[in-house]
Structure 1
């Protein structure tokens, strides 16, 4: 592809002094190995990584020490060999001086690597396998944003295919030269990384954007590209041309929609440092454990670019560059436009740290006091996102969040161009950052409130359905009570007829029993309805209670009338004292006890309830007396039978104690007394059996053929294979190749077990 790529321009922009020459005079240096490395678990956009190591554990260089916490996350690796000395809060590179969870490794100086898995022929790998290698290498954007690279490169639907890959080498921030020297010295690795990413994405074109104030880098990259169809584009030097949206507009003339992403228009950007990290991960098998960082500023005797291990305290890096503490005014991580002031030199280097700026007070003097806005409009002229910074400033002061949204506050890339040209020295970017934080916090609260509202509405819906169900049950009970009342009236109107099959007393007793059950059910239904009425006094419930009260009263009167006809039939000497009669009487006694207990639980029973309780107690006493009269004489066992029974119980107890000890995993010394007690109980049982005079039971022995060792081994392997497959199937991001291998393993074991069973069906 020709390098004569048409270029466009973006709105606004500024031309601050570059100040890049002081750190590009020497090649990339290698920083000394630090004694201690502090590795924060959050070095990327998304969820923090989750620790995989414990205090005291020895780790090797490149060993995973923290796994990705979610889909949008990245793992973390040990930058050197040593031992884990601490896992917990540590200083974090943030302007607030906050602490953050981290893993601390004390280096042993040996630099012992884990076994690496390089892959020169990456084109032979399946796309998902290649993507997984990048994900497991822990690569996130090295240009400053820190978005996990594997997430950006993940497969997309056909209608969202990436047609343009843009490689960002436009290092526009003053002072920073890390990408510049990287392209000069490692252009071949850069192009190799671009090829890997292009192999994954399959774009129609690849554009490499480099500012025209980096001629050495442009020449090195063009030489490395050679005949490949990649366009190396020298773009005009203007800040902030390195912004993702601005670079896309410069190279393609297309604007990313407000609130959208480059992928929405089929484009994807990757920083040059990220591309080199992809090359190292795939071709060399090395995870991301170091990065190139610019050390610059007039307070340093030897400004340079160094390749430093992640987790290195920034104070050690500045000392390596010859820091003169007396000259240092403040320490900035990043450039003067978008960097942050660090409160301490104890913070560690992380994946997104591309520069440590140590200026003197004369080099970067503090801004003068802010004055009122004079509405000059200079901020609007230089805004690369075509926003209205002056209006955003006023809305931010007034906390007018809706107006801030309407004026596209979140399209602001916080480049600082507006504050740079403001004649009133207003810290505009600080207002925008604070307003964004307020809006995000408000959104978070609204989401929590919405979630709570949905939970409340779901609960109310559940309660409503439960109430409807209860109402339906109440109506059904009312209908049943009405039917009982009608059947009772119908029974009362039918004259007594003799029956040739059953005697009159039996028919009368059956009718009395039914009336008792109906009266009890009507009473229970009435009590439940009265409780509901006490909680929810409605006209409908009052009507239902009235109906149920009438039904209960009618059932009670019908029962009393039936009881007056003849007393309830009780088992006596005149009735056959067989097993069926006893069973019937026991059931009746049990039902009476239940009714008595329910009435006894009432705290303030009514007069009717007290009378009913007394009547039921009298009836229960009569039934109990009849049962006592019918009960056969107790079985008298001989002394030998009693001894035999006690011996059996003792044996069961001793056997249970031994099994409990075996399940608890006690040692043989503790189990020996239990075994002796069991043997003694067995001997006592044998002696009791002989003394009881009972015949010896005939024992029938069944020879259970044991399973052969081959079948046992195959069944064990089958269980493990099935469990491994189920575990992989439960994983959302399971590797398809691993799933196929697990299924093949399971099928193979099943086939071998079936073949063995058919060859030896008896297990011999």
Structure 2
């Protein structure tokens, strides 16, 4: 089977930029909804003093991860944050005190088996750092009686244009990646490990292969074709193992667990230090940014502070995107906070790399969207079915397989919102 896709101008301008630390902001807003699961309940109140690494939000729901303070300082309020999709969640607003005092008692977790390993991963606040934000302890805590999982895939493709955070992770946090791999193999009984890296990162491929030879010669490093969306879960699983994740299945159904390489690196650091997930490496780029960079940012920092650090002139901005240009989301308020799942901030000039205005015209039946869809869908048919609220056709044409890569909208000469319609169609089917 040939996986379709697109060859893009990847614009990896920051691939050689070593990660720098963002100066401590004066205040942060830490959202209680930072993963693809339940929002956390607030555990602090205005006036409380908090420390770095202190748990400030948690939930008793299985599909949730706790939230920790990224700074030391004083809680000044509990606010509301309007999120993508129209949902709101609570935010803990903290005024930093400049000392970055660590919570006493932070230390490496004690792990003896699979259960304690998954429990530690949950307590770390870890969720998928590739963008989806799925709770990592849920992914690693698969039912061992139901699923015969023997393969770990580390997704290091980073196929989105501009983004280079995963690239820098492989160069700067290599030891942590292999520490996590060793722990996962030990406690979860996984035998096979594949790391997939696009060929446009030759230095990362060399470093990872060298460390595999040093740490674990059974780890297989594969140089993948530089083709979008190489990093999509179904695509990378097939290209590395030949296994097909069918409609309604998860990777565990075919014996696989998939982790983003930055998620893996964080787990390795946490096992060594006990420091929960309180900061995020992200790429700041785009044609409105004067100093494109990779920067380590405390969770809860507002986007405006990060853009200011990267010498971005607000007068030149036409659009700001959280994430990559293909699957990222447009930002409408630069005071919104950076969350755990944010992989980059792209600031574009009006009329630049990603214009702010899309003028739609009628579909000309060119078939480009069908030719690039990596899972073989027919976006034009799905668009019509959604407009008619035709659930039967949407189900028959397998809209649930859409991975929201955005390829169909990207190639459409009529500028149709095909990818957006697919996501709305999937939501419509869930109401059946």
Q: What TM-score, normalized to structure 2?
A: 0.95
Report deviation, 1:383: 0.4
Report deviation, 1:329: 0.9
Query: Within 1, Cα distance between the matches of 2:329 and 2:294?
Result: 19
- Which of 152, 172, 176 aligns to 2:139? It is 152
Residues 1:104 and 2:93 are matched in the alignment:
yes
Residues 1:428 and 2:418 are matched in the alignment:
yes
| Structure ranking higher in helix proportion | 1
Report deviation, 1:95: 6.9
Query: Residues 85 and 69 from structure 1, CA distance in 2 versus in 1: closer, same or farther, beyond 3 angstroms?
Result: farther
- Matched with 1:372 is 362
Query: Within 2, Cα distance between the matches of 1:157 and 1:166?
Result: 18
CA contact (8 A) 1:164 1:267 kept: yes
Query: Within 1, Cα distance between the matches of 2:417 and 2:24?
Result: 39
Query: Residues 95 and 325 from structure 1, CA distance in 2 versus in 1: closer, same or farther, beyond 3 angstroms?
Result: farther
Query: Within 1, Cα distance between the matches of 2:362 and 2:142?
Result: 50
Report deviation, 1:155: 4.7
Deviation readout 1:212-261 (Å, 9 max, x if unpaired): 10011111112222241100111111000100000001001111011211
Residues 1:35 and 2:38 are matched in the alignment:
no
Residues 1:255 and 2:271 are matched in the alignment:
no
- Ranges in structure 2 where 5+ consecutive residues have no aligned partner: none
- Matched with 1:70 is 61
- Matched with 1:618 is none
- Matched with 2:371 is 381
SS at match of 1:326: helix
Query: Residues 179 and 435 from structure 1, CA distance in 2 versus in 1: closer, same or farther, beyond 3 angstroms?
Result: same
Query: Residues 46 and 196 from structure 1, CA distance in 2 versus in 1: closer, same or farther, beyond 3 angstroms?
Result: same
- Matched with 1:327 is 316
- Matched with 1:17 is 9
Query: Within 2, Cα distance between the matches of 1:126 and 1:337?
Result: 40
Query: Within 1, Cα distance between the matches of 2:418 and 2:7?
Result: 19
- Which of 220, 230, 235 aligns to 2:207? It is 220
Query: Within 1, Cα distance between the matches of 2:158 and 2:319?
Result: 23
- Matched with 2:257 is 268
Deviation readout 1:30-72 (Å, 9 max, x if unpaired): 0011111111111001111111111111111101111134011
- Ranges in structure 1 where 5+ consecutive residues have no aligned partner: 1-8, 444-764
Query: Within 1, Cα distance between the matches of 2:297 and 2:352?
Result: 29
Query: Within 1, Cα distance between the matches of 2:49 and 2:2?
Result: 52
Residues 1:53 and 2:33 are matched in the alignment:
no
Report deviation, 1:270: 0.2
Report deviation, 1:99: 4.4
- Matched with 1:353 is 342
Query: Within 2, Cα distance between the matches of 1:392 and 1:367?
Result: 24
Query: Within 1, Cα distance between the matches of 2:2 and 2:45?
Result: 51
- Matched with 1:547 is none
Report deviation, 1:429: 1.1
Deviation readout 1:462-517 (Å, 9 max, x if unpaired): xxxxxxxxxxxxxxxxxxxxxxxxxxxxxxxxxxxxxxxxxxxxxxxxxxxxxxxx
Q: Highest CA radius of gyration, 1 or 2? A: 1
Report deviation, 1:368: 4.5
- Which of 326, 333, 342 aligns to 1:344? It is 333
Answer 1 or 2: higher relative contact order, Cα 8 Å, separation at least 6: 2
| Structure ranking higher in strand proportion | 2
SS at match of 1:209: strand
How is 1:248-647 mapped onto 2 (pairs within 5 angstroms)? Answer: 248-360=237-349, 361-366=351-356, 368-440=358-430, 442-443=431-432
SS at match of 2:79: strand
Q: What TM-score, normalized to structure 1?
A: 0.55
Query: Within 2, Cα distance between the matches of 1:260 and 1:13?
Result: 22
Query: Within 1, Cα distance between the matches of 2:52 and 2:298?
Result: 11
Query: Residues 282 and 380 from structure 1, CA distance in 2 versus in 1: closer, same or farther, beyond 3 angstroms?
Result: same
CA contact (8 A) 1:116 1:284 kept: no
Query: Within 1, Cα distance between the matches of 2:143 and 2:421?
Result: 37
Query: Within 2, Cα distance between the matches of 1:253 and 1:34?
Result: 46
Report deviation, 1:286: 0.7
CA contact (8 A) 1:91 1:348 kept: no
Report deviation, 1:438: 2.9
Query: Residues 333 and 381 from structure 1, CA distance in 2 versus in 1: closer, same or farther, beyond 3 angstroms?
Result: same
SS at match of 2:314: coil
Query: Within 2, Cα distance between the matches of 1:208 and 1:134?
Result: 21
Residues 1:86 and 2:77 are matched in the alignment:
yes
- Which of 147, 162, 179 aligns to 1:192? It is 179
- Matched with 1:178 is 165
